[in-house]
Amino acid sequence: MRNDLSIVIICKNEAQNIERVLQSIESISDDIIVYDSGSTDGTIEIIKKYKVKLYQGKWMGFGSTKKYATGLAQHDWILSLDADEAIDEKLHHQLKELHFSNERIVYDIRFKNFLGKKHLKWGEWGRDHHIRLFNRKKINWNDAAVHERLIFPENTIVKIIQGSVLHTTMKDTVEYSTKMVEYALLIAEKYFQQGKRATWFRCYMSPGFSFLKYYVFMLGFLDGWEGLVSARMTSFYTALKYARLHELWKEKMTDG
């Protein structure tokens, strides 16, 4: 078990997922941080069965909440995971054997995304990868409410680590559609605050182009029914995002 790596997870109402991720990481680090922002579905009771440090507090948006939770860690090297993720055996082995030699290095990890039990190998999710292992003395999260990102100095060195994060994208279409609506409204508000406009092209053409991109050009159709659902959901998300952005600007003009 490592004594130089902290694993940080944020969660809320993840009773169906949290045990899976905790089981996959419990023998890797002596410092596992779980920050819960108000679960009411039994998540807390499941977390308490594991040897982790549980913190409970308010939701501050994705970026700010992850940054705050990262600050609670004992070690500077951080593996950041979401509650609906887990790690496979190859990544488990790599994380236990990896030697941290340079604070400027970050590690890029492949993601395997699942819709229900279907591994999406094509389309939007097929070539997914993210930097999730970093040293917080050099790198940390931004404050974005949604679509948060790590902030990298110019001299950052990116290395690829073997193995995969297993991401349960959505358990079914009900959860999928609910989250797409939530994310679309949040990103529309973000764009509005940034002064971005819902142009004619974005409102009328972008949804269709996003479907063609992921379902046809990126071969999402090879994932069968789930590939079709995924491409349609992204198209719907795109349409709703720009519709809401257009609405926000109309409301401002009316109020002004």
Note the pLDDT tens digit of each residue in 146-174: 889 999 999 999 999 999 999 998 888 89
Q: In the chain, count of helices (H) and strands (E)?
A: 8, 11
Beta bridge partners of 133: 79, 107
Interatomic CA distance for residues 195 and 245, integer angstroms: 10
Q: Are residues 161 and 42 in the same domain?
A: yes
Per-residue model confidence (pLDDT) at position 8: 98
The secondary structure of 101-119, three-state, reads: CCCCEEEEEEEEEEECCEE
Q: Are residues 150 and 26 in the same domain?
A: yes
How many separate domains does the chain show? 2
Q: How many CB atoms within 10 Å of residue 240?
A: 18
pLDDT bracket for residue 184 (50, 70, 90): very high
Q: Are residues 35 and 100 in the same domain?
A: yes
Over range 217-238, report the average pLDDT: 97
Residue of 38, 66, 72 whose CA lies nearest to 53:
72
Q: Are residues 154 and 221 in the same domain?
A: no
pLDDT bracket for residue 256 (50, 70, 90): low
Interatomic CA distance for residues 253 and 83, integer angstroms: 40
Interatomic CA distance for residues 236 and 227, integer angstroms: 14
Q: Are residues 153 and 195 in the same domain?
A: no
Cβ 140 vs Cβ 106: under 8 Å:
no
Q: Are residues 6 and 86 in the same domain?
A: yes
* Own/partner long-range contacts of 177-186 (Cβ < 8 Å, ≥24 apart): 177/233, 177/236, 180/233, 180/234, 180/236, 180/237, 180/240, 181/240, 183/146, 183/147, 183/237, 184/237, 184/238, 184/240, 184/241, 184/244, 185/240, 185/241, 185/244, 186/145, 186/146
What is the residue range of 95's domain? 2-170
Cβ 77 vs Cβ 2: under 8 Å:
no
Q: Are residues 124 and 235 in the same domain?
A: no
pLDDT at 255 over 80: no
Q: Are residues 162 and 204 in the same domain?
A: no
16-43: pLDDT as tens digits:
999 999 999 999 999 999 999 999 999 9
Per-residue model confidence (pLDDT) at position 38: 96
Cβ 4 vs Cβ 10: under 8 Å:
no
CATH number at residue 41: 3.90.550.10
Q: Domain ends where: 111, 144, 170? A: 170
Q: Are residues 37 and 164 in the same domain?
A: yes
Q: Domain ends where: 153, 170, 187? A: 170
Over range 1-14, report the average pLDDT: 96
Interatomic CA distance for residues 26 and 52, integer angstroms: 8
Q: Are residues 10 and 129 in the same domain?
A: yes
Per-residue model confidence (pLDDT) at position 145: 87
pLDDT at 69 over 90: yes
Q: Are residues 119 and 43 in the same domain?
A: yes
100-110: pLDDT as tens digits:
999 999 999 99
pLDDT at 252 over 90: no
Q: Are residues 116 and 159 in the same domain?
A: yes
Q: Domain ends where: 123, 150, 170? A: 170
pLDDT at 236 over 80: yes
